[in-house]
Amino acid sequence: MANPTAAMLVIGDEILSGRTRDTNTHHLAGELTRHGIRLMEVRVVADDQPAIIAALDALRSRWDHVFTSGGIGPTHDDITADAVAAAFGVAIGVRDDARALLAAHYERSGLEFNTARQRMARIPDGAALIDNPISIAPGFTIGNVHVMAGVPTVFEAMVASVLPTLTGGAPLLSQSLQVNRGEGEVAEPFGALAAEFPDLSMGSYPFIRNGAHGTNLVIRGTDGAQVDAAMQRLVALFGRPQ
Amino acid sequence: MANPTAAMLVIGDEILSGRTRDTNTHHLAGELTRHGIRLMEVRVVADDQPAIIAALDALRSRWDHVFTSGGIGPTHDDITADAVAAAFGVAIGVRDDARALLAAHYERSGLEFNTARQRMARIPDGAALIDNPISIAPGFTIGNVHVMAGVPTVFEAMVASVLPTLTGGAPLLSQSLQVNRGEGEVAEPFGALAAEFPDLSMGSYPFIRNGAHGTNLVIRGTDGAQVDAAMQRLVALFGRPQ
């Protein structure tokens, strides 16, 4: 059976302006690969409702899962929950279970559960909450869309809450070989090897270190025996790493 | 006059699998902001020709500039140049000026200018070369699409080659204030201030440090006097950072 597919939608002006470096995509990519879900596409859009809705609709209709990060806090620029509700054509309002979680948290913390903080209990109708053990304000899943916070520690905790609930596929295996040759020297035999193993994906990633060119050759697939066999051929072609 | 707009298209299975962390988007975002060009959208797609063409067509029809990274090396998985030619409906072949640059480079290096390396001289008809002072193999600009390498040092050098040739807009200015309060405490007055300055963009970015909640408040705009005035109001509301 083919592996389930996914897309990531990062929401936030601060990523596009270069102020903040997005680290959530890289984290999610690694976790999905381990879980046997293929990340097929990533988009980053601004804090702009039409842009969020257009990207959500394109991604959720195409891939099995969509993960979003950002825009679910208490401030005026946090518009993700409303955009998701609009994309699904459902109402959104403060939900009792989310409100109760937050009220208890702020009571324990001795902080006022003010109107802004109550905004974080606004959940689109029909969604299921995603647990947030770090700062309590929940994410949510509606349809095939998983809506999570942008703060990396919270995003990562929410991914850990959601992933075990999703059906994965065969783990995506990879092996790599680092060679002290430029990509241009390995290209022909590597391409020929890739053509012999059509079920595997082979990629080459050049680097420059201390002025010398090298290449990482990566073999990916779900059939461990095939990945092993291809790697043996690769080592025979280019030698073990020195 | 409104600032020119741009999108970034990152091409590469290695980003989607979590093997490699994309750093080119963050670099480009900062450089564009300094140059007065607004980055509006980012997409990451696999090494898959239909996916590359679909993303290119969506982005180049919508934004003033599209910058791509990845997939222009010598190996079988480097399919960006062919995908760009197909998107523009033009032919692609080895071009004399690109071939001459590479031939001279490999002669100086004492390396064979083999068939795989000659692939890097394949340029879509009508494109202009982008200088690559690091590893010589050029990028290219066709229409409003700037096609660049994925290796970060090379990508950054190509951005430095291209950006001075593009018309920028008024620089996008930003000022920020870090406050030792959670987002939920600053949300209401900050939202009210944002409503008073509709020409500015105001964002709040929560963080957790040593277990304590804090928030970075950011004001962005092209009118320096307005940004200054809003920042003075912000400091009056929340105090100078301690």
Task: Provide the pLDDT for residue A168.
Answer: 85
Same-domain status, A181 and A159: no
Q: How many domains does chain B have?
A: 2
Tens of pLDDT, residue by residue over B37-96, are 999 999 999 999 999 999 999 999 999 999 999 999 999 999 999 999 999 999 999 999
CB–CB of A218 and B44 under 8 A?
no
Same domain, B205 and B157: no
Residues A101 and A119 reside in one and the same domain: yes
Q: What is the distance of C-alpha A203 from the center of its chain? A: 21
Nearest residue, CB atoms, A151 vs list B15, B135, B207? B207
Which of A145, A165, A185 is the last residue in one of the domains?
A165
The minimum CA-CA distance between B209 and chain A, rounded to whole Å, is 11
Question: At B210, is the pLDDT very low, low, confident or very high (cuts 50, 70, 90)?
Answer: confident
Co-location of B104 and B214 in the same domain: no
Q: Same structural domain for residues B127 and B84?
A: yes
Which member of B43, B76, B77 has the closest CB to residue A43? B43
Q: Rounded mean pLDDT of chain B? A: 94
- What b/e string do you get for B182-208 counting C-beta neighbours within 10 Å, with b at 16 or more? bbbbbbbebbebbeebeebbbbbbbee
Q: Is B171 on the interface with A (CB under 8 A)?
A: no
How many CB pairs (< 8 A) connect A and B? Answer: 208
The 10 Å Cβ neighbour count of residue B59 is: 23
pTM above 0.90, yes or no: yes
- The predicted pLDDT at position A236 comes to 94
**pLDDT at res. B211:** 79
Domain stops at, among B165, B192, B207: B165
Strand-pair category, A5-11 with A65-69: parallel
B26: domain CATH number is 3.40.980.10
- Mark whether B158 and B226 lie in a shared domain: no
Q: Is B189 in the same domain as B218? A: yes
**pLDDT above 80: residue B240:** no
- Provide the pLDDT for residue A137: 95
Is A146's pLDDT higher than 80?
yes
Range(s) of the domain holding residue B63? 5-165
Give me the interface pTM, i.e. the ipTM. Answer: 0.92
pLDDT at B129: 97
Q: Which residues pair with A211 in a beta bridge?
A: none
Distance, CA of A178 to CA of A110 (rounded, Å): 55
Q: What percent of chain B has pLDDT over 90?
A: 87
Residue for token pair 């890289």: A26
Beta-carbon count within 10 A of B7 CB: 26
CB proximity list for A127: less than 8 A, separation 6 or greater: A140, A141, A142, A147
Residues A208 and A96 reside in one and the same domain: no
Mind listing the pLDDT tens digit for each residue in A197-233? Answer: 999 999 999 888 887 889 999 999 999 999 999 999 9
Inter-axis angle of helices A49-62 and A80-88, to 10 degrees?
A: 50
Six token digits for residue B61: 């029809």
| pLDDT confidence tier of residue B212, bands split at 50, 70 and 90 | confident
The two beta strands, B5-11 and B65-69, are: parallel
Contact B188 A33 (CB under 8 A): no
Interface of A with B in 47-86 (CB under 8 A): 47, 51, 73-77
Q: Which of A39, A44, A79 to mutate to test the interface with B (most CBs of B within 10 A)?
A: A44
Q: What pLDDT score does A1 carry?
A: 56
Q: How far apart are CA B93 and CA B74, in angstroms?
A: 14
- Residue whose token pair is 């004001």: B219
Tell me, what's the pLDDT at B79?
A: 96
**Token pair for B22:** 């994309």
Same domain, A87 and A133: yes
Q: How confident is the model at residue B241 (pLDDT cuts 50, 70, 90)?
A: low
Categorize the per-residue pLDDT at A241 as very low, low, confident or very high, splitting at 50, 70 and 90: low
- Describe the strand order of the beta sheet including A212-221 as a list of residue ranges: A173-179, A212-221, A201-209
Residue B52, min C-alpha distance to chain A (Å):
11
Q: What is the DSSP letter of A200?
A: S
> Does the pLDDT at position A84 exceed 60?
yes
To which residue do tokens 């593009």 refer? B166
Q: List all residues of chain B from 126 to 165 with a beta carbon under 8 Å from chain A.
A: 134-135, 151, 153
Contact residues for A108 (Cβ-Cβ < 8 A; gap 6+): none
